[in-house]
Each structure stands twice: as C-alpha cells, then as structure tokens.
Amino acid sequence: MNQRQLFLQHVGQTSQQPLCLNIVKAQGNRLFDADGKSYLDLIAGISVCNLGHGHPRIIKAIQEQSERFLHVMVYGEFIEQPQVQYAKRLVDHLPDSLNAVFFTASGSEATEGAMKLAKRYTGRTGMISFKNSYHGSTQGALSVMGSEYWQQAFRPLLPGIRQADYNDFSVLDWIGPETACVIAESIQAEAGVNSPSIEWMQALRSRCTETGTLLILDEIQCGFGRNGTLFAFEQLGVVPDILLLGKALGGGMPLGAFIADKKIMDALTHNPVLGHINTFGGHPVSCAAGLAALEVLIEEKWIYTVAEKSKRFVTQLVHPKIERVSHRGLMIAVHFSSFEFNKKLIDRLLEKGIFTDWFLFASNALRIAPPLTITQAEIDEACHLILQTLDES
C-alpha cells in the first residue's frame, strides 16, 4: 500500500474527503510534499505556527529539553523548570489578576478546565456561551459550542447552558446569581472573523463583575499577536477572570492553558483534591518550545508588523466576486457567495501552491491566517494568485 492508502485505512478520519497532502517537510512559511511541490502556507496550522516552520530557536529549545528529560510525572506534582519558566514569562505579560497558569495538552482541555474551575469557585452551574463560537470538540467544550450542527449528533450534552447572540446587549439580562461563567471568544474566529464592539465587551465585563460571574475569554486561536497586540482583549479594555490559550502557545508543539488569579485557581486543590488533573499537560518539551516561541515573538517584534501586513492583504483583495473581507490583524476572512464557490477556489489555489481553507461557521469564506513571519513578497504572491484564480472562475 502507498502512504495515502495507509493513511485512509489506519488513521482515524475527521471527514469523508481529507486533503491527503503528503507533507514531508515544512520550512519558513512553506510546506513541501513528497513530490517536492511547495505550498505557501496561509493557515499556519490554524494559527499554531506563528513564527512559521522550523524556527532555529524553537528547534534548539526542543532538542535541548529532550536531552534533559521528557515526561516524568503527572501534571502538577513535580517542579519542572520549563513549566515554571514559561508560566512566569506568560504572567509577566498579563494583567496582575492573571497570575496562575494551569497547563493542559490542548485548547479543548483548557476549555474543560476553565468550565470546571468556574463551577467549583462560584458554586454555581449555569453557563452562557454564544452562537457561532468554537471552544473545542470534547463534550464539555462541545456543550458551549455555538452550533447545533456539530452538537446534535452527540446529545445529551451538559445541562444549564444558554446560548446568546454575540455582540447583543440583551445577554446582559441573562447573567444572574445562578450564572457560573460567561464564555466568549475575544474575536470569533470560526464565524469568519467576527469582532465584538468595545462597548458590548465592556458591558459584559461589568455585568459579570456585578453578579459575581466569571468572564472566560477564549484566545486559543486569536492570541499571541495575531491581531496586532499580544492578546486581543488588550484592544477591548477588559480583563477576563479566566483566559484560555492554546495553538500558538506551544510554538508548534501541543499545549494549552487556562490562566486565572491564584485565589480562583486554588479552588481546584481541595474538596476534592486533584480537582483537575491531566497526564501530559504542560509537557516539558512543549513548554520549552512555547517559551522559545514567545521570546522570539517579542524580541524580534513580529507583532509590530501585523497591522501593515494585514493592510497589504486587504487592500489587494478587491474583486467583483469578493463580497466582503472581514479581518482583525492577520486573521482574515474573504467572503464569497457560497461554500461551493469557495471550495472550488480553495482546490484551485492548492493546485497553484497556495494552501488555505474555510471556516466552520462561515464556510463561504476563505481563511487567511498565515505565519506572522510572512513576507511582503509572499503576501503579494498569494493575493496575485487568488485574484488570478478568481478571474478564471
């Protein structure tokens, strides 16, 4: 059997028509398949590879930590230097109230931990999430996902969850003494880059404070500079009670985290002890890679290039077949008339060496979320080929 046949037969599938690209190397902002074909990466592993592929400092950090030790004990028992160093570096760049990091192995697990923490700390069970939101695919995270299409096949899910319209002030009336938490994305990614108004987010923050409800902001996809600041909530004038991180957090390695004030986080340490625990959370190699990636991101000032690069994309992506472009930094959604048209465009771009995708809740929109290291020449190349393909469509 060839690799494609082995993949389809022995690897669990997520769809009936996987792309089946046989990628054998990734370097810089490009992917390379087994035939030597190069693809310009406009997705960055869905916002994972902020610094592109194979950055030497990240690779060095992985190599050095792998030589010291890999897994030694279930999370939270031993003092593991990569975890401690990375946690300290993260909180140094966060508001004072976000000072305790609980590492997980993925963003979905971060959502799960945050939901449990909110219930444990407040003693309440009610939760509010938003339509067209995505927080992961495990059962708890799926319970707060904003789409019945993905939920319906797995019900019953967690009870006590209400879903409101994002950016709608009427949700404020839903938040009361029975509400443990409100969970929202700082920017709704899978909705096709849907940004909240500052006024709405600040009103949400105020109502949560007034009622003793914890505000959870999910920056698993939009964090780490993708929107022009290290964290997107900095642009909204609010501070969450719990912050969710993942994807770019690990520098290309699997890693997630939920971050809160120590007095809140300590609720997981008693009644019961081990209130939340996982085996591979904060894996030392992942933490070493993530720390290196954060240091490079800050020291090389890639965040400061985001606004200019975003503008370069948006100003070029003008075409009669493009209905609109929604964006926040290097999170860009190019909207077309239908999913069918968008999917044909994506397939044709793949043939031309441009790798992109669509959004879960905006399937008519083309996803552009490249490594922050993408060059101006690569942006021009991508835009030229997109417009050229649209002319041919």
pTM passes above 0.85: yes
Out of 267, 299, 331, a domain closes at 299
165 plus 275 within the same structural domain: yes
- Residue 369 CA: distances (Å) to CA of 221, 244, 312, 331, 351: 10, 19, 13, 5, 19
Residue 21: its pLDDT value, please? 83
Residue 1 in domain: no
Residue 327 in domain: yes
Residue 76: its pLDDT value, please? 87
189 plus 287 within the same structural domain: yes
Residue 371: its pLDDT value, please? 98
Residue 315 in domain: yes
246 plus 365 within the same structural domain: no
Number of domains in the chain: 2
387 plus 253 within the same structural domain: no
Residue 263: its pLDDT value, please? 97
Residue 15 in domain: no
49 plus 171 within the same structural domain: no
326 plus 184 within the same structural domain: no
CATH number of the domain residue 308 falls in: 3.90.1150.10
Can you tell me the distance from the alpha carbon of 90 to that of 294, in angstroms, rounded to the nearest whole number?
Answer: 8
Residue 386 in domain: yes
Residue 4 in domain: no
78 plus 198 within the same structural domain: yes
Judge contact between 368 and 42, C-beta under 8 A.
yes
133 plus 219 within the same structural domain: yes
Which two tokens mark 150? 């993905």
66 plus 182 within the same structural domain: yes
Residue 18: its pLDDT value, please? 81
- Going by their DSSP bridges, the two strands 354-355 and 38-41 should be labelled as parallel
CATH number of the domain residue 224 falls in: 3.40.640.10
Q: What is the pLDDT along the chain (393 residues), one digit of tens a residue?
A: 798 888 878 888 878 888 878 899 999 999 999 999 999 999 999 999 999 999 999 999 999 999 999 999 988 889 999 999 999 999 999 999 999 999 999 999 999 999 999 999 999 999 999 999 999 999 999 999 998 998 999 999 999 999 999 999 999 999 999 999 999 999 999 999 999 999 999 999 999 999 999 999 999 999 999 999 999 999 999 999 999 999 999 999 999 999 999 999 999 999 999 889 999 999 999 999 999 999 999 999 999 999 999 999 999 999 999 999 999 999 999 999 999 999 999 999 999 999 999 999 999 999 999 999 999 999 999 999 999 999 998
Out of 299, 331, 357, a domain closes at 299
Can you tell me the distance from the alpha carbon of 250 to that of 290, in angstroms, rounded to the nearest whole number?
Answer: 4
Residue 360 in domain: yes
Residue 13 in domain: no
320 plus 272 within the same structural domain: no
104 plus 249 within the same structural domain: yes
Domain range for 341: 21-54+304-392
64 plus 49 within the same structural domain: no
Residue 9: its pLDDT value, please? 85
Can you tell me the distance from the alpha carbon of 223 to that of 212, in angstroms, rounded to the nearest whole number?
Answer: 26
Out of 268, 299, 330, a domain closes at 299
Judge contact between 376 and 315, C-beta under 8 A.
no
